[in-house]
Amino acid sequence: MRTWWIIAALLASAPFARAQTSPPPDLSDFTKSAAEHGVDTVDDPFRVRSVTGTISTATGDAGRANVLFEIEGPGDERTMRHVLTDRNGHFKISHLPDGNYRFKATLYGFQSVIGTIIVSKRNPATNEVKIEMRTGE
């Protein structure tokens, strides 16, 4: 009988636990594409010494040109920096102090991508930001 009450208590609390989802991130400081229908989130932060990397698409190309790559930070600081990828999908934002940054990659016709970058002199020099964008849905 005691087991039944424990199961009932767990089931009763389950909807409450599912309802406790985190609110969507505030992207108001970032550029929004006119065709932006969705945003993909990179769950694990990129850990780099400097913000360099490549953006490609799920269609299999090596790199995507003219992607708007923006970062905000460090921390709660609302300083925005941005760059467009070159013809090979490469980008670089120089002279950033160590800290946590939020990023967003935007390209017309593709899902935007957001996530976190941790810049630290302690991170391996070979680490880079690598993002793959999906076509807009």
Q: Where are the domains of the chain?
A: 37-133
Query: What's the token pair of residue 107?
Result: 């390209």
**Calpha distance 90→68 (Å, rounded):** 11
Predicted local confidence at residue 71, as pLDDT: 97
First CA to last CA across the chain, in angstroms?
50
Predicted local confidence at residue 3, as pLDDT: 47
Q: Is the pLDDT of residue 65 over 60?
A: yes
**Calpha distance 45→128 (Å, rounded):** 11
More confident residue, 135 or 15: 135
Mean pLDDT, all residues of the chain: 82
pTM of the predicted protein model: 0.78
**Calpha distance 37→125 (Å, rounded):** 35
More confident residue, 76 or 6: 76
Predicted local confidence at residue 23, as pLDDT: 52
Query: What's the token pair of residue 74?
Result: 């460090």
> If one looks up domain 37-133 in CATH, what number appears?
2.60.40.1120
Q: Is the pLDDT of residue 81 over 50?
A: yes
Please, what sign has the CA dihedral across residues 34, 39, 110, 61? positive
CA torsion 59→131→40→73, rounded to 10°? -150
Predicted local confidence at residue 35, as pLDDT: 64
**Calpha distance 17→44 (Å, rounded):** 23
Predicted local confidence at residue 39, as pLDDT: 87
More confident residue, 64 or 35: 64
**pLDDT single digits (tens) 9-59:** 433 433 333 333 345 567 778 877 776 767 889 999 999 999 999 999 877
Percent of the chain with pLDDT over 70: 80
